[in-house]
Structure 1
Amino acid sequence: MNHSPLLEKTIELLREANSQEPVLDLACGSGRNGLYLINKNIPVVFADIKETALEQVKSALSPPHCEVKSLANFWQVDFEQDSFEQEELKPLAGKSFSAIIVFRYLHRSLFEQIKQAVTAGGYVVYETFSVDQPQFGRPKNPNFLLNHGELAELFSDWQIIHSFEGIIDAKNADANNESGKQAIAQIIARKP
C-alpha cells in the first residue's frame, strides 16, 4: 500500500520544519507514510502499540534502504491508556516533534497531547475516516469517525494550510470495501 497523497502536499513544509526534531508517525501500522518521509531524508519516529508493526517497518528499512535506516527510530507505546489525567501516563508528555502525522487512527483524548508535542512552527498532518464512512464499509463505530468540522475546530487556533472533508476514490486501499470509496477528513495545520 502506498503512502497517502496528502504527504506529497506537505513534504516541503516538513523539510522546512524539520530542523531539530523528528516527525512522529503516530500509530504507524505498516509505516507506509513514515517510510515515504524517510525516503525523502526526513527523520521519523515510528510509534505503534504492536511490536509486529514496528518489526515490519524495520524490515522495510533493510537493504537497499540501509543509507536511510539511521533516520528511523522506533517507539512501542500504548496511546490508548485511559489514565491520561495523570501526567506521567501521558505518552506524549515531555516529547517534542517537528510534526506529527496521523493516518487512519482516531483516539480523541490524544488531541491535546498531540498539539502540545508539536514544536512551535511545526505541523500536524491528520487524515482519517469521517462519520460518512459507514455507507462504504468499516469502520462503523462512531468512536473512530470524525464529525463534520471536527479537525478544523480542534486546530482552529493553528494556521490551517489544508482542510478537506469528503468522499475519495480509494480503490485497492481496503479489500473489504467494494465501492472503492472512502469518507475522510484531512488537515494540515501549522502550530503558531
Structure 2
Amino acid sequence: MQAIEPTVETEAISGWLRRWAPLIPGGEVLDLACGAGRHARHLVSLGHPVIALDHDPEMLEKAAGTGITTSLVDLEAPGAVWPFAPGRFAGIVVTNYLHRPLLDAMVASLAPDGVLLYETFAEGNEQFGKPSNPKFLLKEGEMLSWAVQQGLRVVAYEDGRVEQPKAALVQRICAVRPDFPRLAALLPTF
C-alpha cells in the first residue's frame, strides 16, 4: 500500500491550534509562515479575517481564499523588517517555524488582549529527522522563558513528544497579553 502524501485537503489542523484558537477575541489574526493555509482556513471558519504570510508564492496561492489576505514577505531576507504595526492582531498563530529575531516585533503586534498560539520543534528533534539544525530548534524551556520575558500570561504550555503528523519533539504555548480577561468561561475544560 502506498502512503498518501498530505495535501491541503488532508493535512490535519494542529490539535493545539484547534484546542486554543477559540480563545482568540474577535479581530484579525496573523498566520505566520502559513504554508498552504490549513490553519488560516480554520481561523476563518472561526470568524476571523486572516493575514496569511509566507515567503513562498506557491504556498500562498494554495492558502488564498475567502477571508484570507495573503502576504508575500521573506522575513529572513537581509534587511527585512517586521511589516506590521504594534497592537494590530487579535491573535498570532505560528506552527513549525522559528526565526528568533522576529519574536519581539511579533509580540508587539498583538493587541492588548491578544492571544499567541505557537508550536515548533525543540532540541532532540534530530533523532526524528528534520529539522535538526539547532538554529531551528528551541532550547529546553526556551519558549516558556521567552513568553514570560515578553510579559505574556501563559495559559498552557507543553514540551515533549508528539506522534502526529509525525513523531517529533516540540514546544507549544498558548499565551495572552495582559488585558486578556481572566474569565473561566473563556477557557476550554481539560
Per the normalisation by structure 1, the TM-score is 0.81
Output one character per residue of 1:1-41: Cα deviation in whole Å (capped at 9) or x when no partner. Answer: 11101112213211xx12xx310000100111111111222
Structure 1 contact 122–190 (Cα < 8 Å) conserved:
yes
Cross-structure match for 2:100? 108
Letter paired with 1:132: G
1:35 to 15, 38, 41: 41
Q: Does 1:48 align with 2:54?
A: yes
Cross-structure match for 2:117? 125
1:2-13 superposed matches below 5 A: 2-13=12-23
**CA distance, structure 1, for counterparts of residue 84 and residue 68 of structure 2:** 18
**CA distance, structure 2, for counterparts of residue 143 and residue 93 of structure 1:** 27
SS at match of 1:189: strand
**CA distance, structure 2, for counterparts of residue 115 and residue 162 of structure 1:** 17
| Stretches (4+) displaced over 6 A | none
Letter paired with 2:102: L
Cross-structure match for 2:167? 181
Q: Does 1:163 align with 2:163?
A: no
Letter paired with 2:154: I
Q: Does 1:25 align with 2:41?
A: no
RMSD: 1.5
Task: Please list every run of 5 or more consecutive structure 2 residues that lacks an aligned counterpart in the other structure.
Answer: 1-10, 179-190
Report the CA distance between 1:94 and its aligned residue. 5.0
Per the normalisation by structure 2, the TM-score is 0.82
Structure 2 contact 86–111 (Cα < 8 Å) conserved:
no
The percent identity for this pair of structures is 31
Task: Please list every run of 5 or more consecutive structure 1 residues that lacks an aligned counterpart in the other structure.
Answer: 62-68, 174-179
Report the CA distance between 1:111 and its aligned residue. 0.3
1:77 to 68, 73, 78: 73
Aligned length: 166
Letter paired with 1:57: A
Higher mean alpha-carbon deviation, 161-170 vs 31-40, is at 31-40
Cross-structure match for 1:152? 144
Report the CA distance between 1:95 and its aligned residue. 6.8
**CA distance, structure 2, for counterparts of residue 164 and residue 82 of structure 1:** 33
Structure 1 contact 133–140 (Cα < 8 Å) conserved:
yes
